[in-house]
Amino acid sequence: MSEWMRKILESKRAARQQLRALTFSEKLKLLEKLRERSLAIAESPLRRRQRNR
Amino acid sequence: MKTTLEIINRMQAEGIICKYAIGGAVGATFYLEPSATFDIDIFVSLKNPQGSPLLTLTPIYDYLTSRGCQTDKEYLMIEGWPVQFLPPGDALDEEALQQAVETEVEHVRTWVISAEHLVAIALRTGRAKDFARILQFVEAGVLDPNQLDAILKRHGLLEKWEQFGVKFLRGNP
């Protein structure tokens, strides 16, 4: 594995660890944002056009 | 989410439901990093209607729809969140509910299924997304191996766990 890739994986692991360490309330706020974003993407005209193909 | 839980707590205080605990992806978020989900799974124990051996979700539906909640397929929409109420289907669900962990969401008291029970339930359910979640739990190192082992043994899931290990953990569950 290249040094560059190793650094990316390490930073991803650290970011996940940071997210895990948040309180349940903080995590649920993030989860709500993720959900809103996913719903917005699902409702976008581009996505609907793809679904209708 | 806070308001959704407040309404479920009110339902519990008014005796519509007995014990409840959050499971599924929202429950997993208690232990892991958040991941997108569209619904909330609530494991719930219900009172048997007088003289009936059958458990029914009707009191929950009646309570919530009379307070303006809409239904959508198997979900009840509570404050914008689709909530699925799941009465225990077997001894594993029953145990998971009884041993749920008490916590708070913005000062609202609630309960979450333990990490080990979430893994056992995911293993039993066995869809691709369940296996992915088990891997997240393993990678996060949040499981108590003795506790998990005991649960898997009690509920006849050891063989499935070994198969999972061979397939996803390089033969080392």
Chain A residues with beta carbon closer than 8 angstroms to that of B30: 24, 27
> Can you say whether the dihedral through the CA atoms of B58, B9, B137, A6 is positive or negative?
positive
Q: Is the pLDDT of residue B50 over 80?
A: no
Q: Which residues, listed in sequence order, are joined to residue B83 by a DSSP beta bridge?
A: B40, B76
Structural tokens at position B55: 């458990």
- Note the pLDDT of residue B134: 96
Chain A residues with beta carbon closer than 8 angstroms to that of B104: 24-25
Query: If DSSP codes are grouped into helix, strand and coil, which group holds residue B23?
Result: strand
- Note the pLDDT of residue B52: 66
What is the C-alpha separation between B164 and B173, in angstroms, rounded?
A: 7
pLDDT category, B71, cuts 50, 70, 90? Answer: very high
**CA–CA min distance B104, chain A (Å):** 8
Contact B37 A31 (CB under 8 A): yes
Q: For chain B, how many helices (H) and strands (E)?
A: 8, 7
Q: Is the pLDDT of residue A50 over 70?
A: no
- Please tell me which of the candidates B30, B35, B140 has its beta carbon nearest to residue A24: B30
Q: Is the pLDDT of residue B49 over 80?
A: no
Q: Looking up tokens 């309570």, which residue turns up?
A: B63
Per-residue pLDDT tens over the stretch B77-117: 999 999 999 999 999 999 999 999 999 999 999 999 999 99
Residues A21-38, mean pLDDT to the nearest whole number? 93
- Note the pLDDT of residue B55: 74
Cα A2 to Cα A5, A14, B150: the distances in Å are 5, 18, 41
Contact B36 A28 (CB under 8 A): no
Structural tokens at position A22: 């948040």
Cα B103 to Cα A10, B31, B33, B132: the distances in Å are 31, 12, 17, 25
Q: List alpha helices for B73-157, DSSP H.
A: 91-98, 115-125, 128-140, 145-154
Do B96 and B121 touch, CB atoms closer than 8 A?
A: yes
Per-residue pLDDT tens over the stretch B117-169: 999 999 999 999 999 999 999 999 999 999 999 999 999 999 999 999 999 88
Q: How far is CA A2 from the centre of its chain?
A: 25
ipTM (interface pTM): 0.85
Contact B36 A38 (CB under 8 A): yes
Judged on CB neighbours under 10 Å (0-12, 13-18, 19+), B23 is buried
Element holding B22 (H helix, E strand): strand B20-23
Per-residue pLDDT tens over the stretch B11-29: 999 999 999 999 999 999 9
- Note the pLDDT of residue A45: 81
pLDDT category, B46, cuts 50, 70, 90? Answer: confident
Element holding B28 (H helix, E strand): helix B24-29
- Note the pLDDT of residue B11: 96
